[in-house]
Structure 1
Amino acid sequence: MELFLGLITGVLFGFFLQKGQVLRFERQVRFMLLQDLTIIKFMATAVLVGMVGVYALHGLGVIALSVKGTVVAAQIMGGLLFGVGWALAGFCPGTAVGALAEGRLHALWALLGMLCGAAAYAEAYPVLQKTVLTWGDYGKITLPQLLGLSPWLIIVVFIAAAVPLLYLAERKGL
């Protein structure tokens, strides 16, 4: 049942990626040039909905939170590599798979690059495990835990900050 729900969720996410036109290479490039904020608006909306959904399901006892450890150096380096790869390929993992599903064969190059990056990470993992993956290790902690606040307060603050920014970007035609 969990695999089926995962499949349904993935198909729905792909549908929304396609409908939001964030799979288009041209839109990806315009985002990188800060000329079109459709992708950031899509991502921000997904994060906000995800925060509410995850904490609502957790509060109802439907799911258990599985928090990944916070390792600052690893997250900074991973974010930089992800961003450089995205800028060079014009796709992130989700949009590359979605673009391929639309028949855009050039997305195969992005997926190949991602697979090569994953293989390189797997090979480098023993060294990274003793170095980068220990720098700034705060363990499994969430922002609400760090601040000692209710997750719902954090969610409300994020929504209160994001909605006006999203509205402003929409009004400016970005």
Structure 2
Amino acid sequence: MTTMLAIFGPLLMGGAFGFLLQRGKVTSCNVIENQFRLRDFTVLKVMGTAIVVGGIGVLLLIDTGNSKYYVKDANILGVALGAALFGVGMVVYGYCPGTALGAIASGSVHALVGALGMVAGAILYALSFDWLKSHVLNVWKLGKIRLPDITGVPDAAWFVGLAVCAALFFWWIESRGARKA
């Protein structure tokens, strides 16, 4: 039974994820491009909801003892450069990795071509990792820290704050959209 769950569990979760991306309309490059044009906030709402729900799920798993945090080094320069590269790639490509796979599954050929570019980028990153590790990843290296460790504010308070901020932002977006219509 455990083997079956290990095989079919991820397939079921991946299928559900792809279905929800398709239902949320974020497998369309037009929706993602319009997010960056500040015309359509569907991507922000879908991802914000996923972050809040996923964060609360992780917090529950940690608090019940069913999981534990694996904290990676906070390499601020590497994160900043990676985020900038990811953002530029997302604007040019029109997809993030998850939405690209959803678009490919729904028959998008240009998403497939772009995904090959993502694979090429991953290979280049792997080939240049030693140089990046010595020249980029050790700049602003803060070690294995989290915001609750730095601030002394408990995890639950961070998630409640995040959920409240997301709800207020979503309400603001929706209220502005209703005024324009």
TM-score bin, normalised by smaller chain: over 0.9
State the Cα deviation string for residues 122-171 of structure 1 (Å, max 9, x = none). Answer: 11111111110101111121111111121001111111111011112123
Structure 1 distance, partners of 2:52, 2:154, is 16
Question: Normalising by structure 2, what TM-score?
Answer: 0.91
Mapping for residues 1-174 of structure 1, pairs under 5 Å: 1-2=5-6, 4-173=8-177
Structure 1 distance, partners of 2:65, 2:91, is 39
- Residue 2 of structure 1 deviates from its aligned partner by 4.5
Closer, same or farther: CA 17–112 of 1 in aligned 2, 3 Å: same
Figure out how many residues of one structure are paired with residues of the other and give that number. 174
8 A contact 1:67–1:140 mirrored in 2 = yes
Question: Normalising by structure 1, what TM-score?
Answer: 0.94
Structure 1 distance, partners of 2:70, 2:102, is 27
Structure 2 distance, partners of 1:14, 1:134, is 36
CA RMSD in angstroms, aligned pairs only: 1.4
Structure 2 distance, partners of 1:5, 1:147, is 37
Structure 1 distance, partners of 2:66, 2:30, is 40
- Residue 113 of structure 1 deviates from its aligned partner by 1.2
Could you tell me which runs of 5 or more consecutive residues in structure 2 were left unpaired when the two chains were aligned.
none
Could you tell me which runs of 5 or more consecutive residues in structure 1 were left unpaired when the two chains were aligned.
none
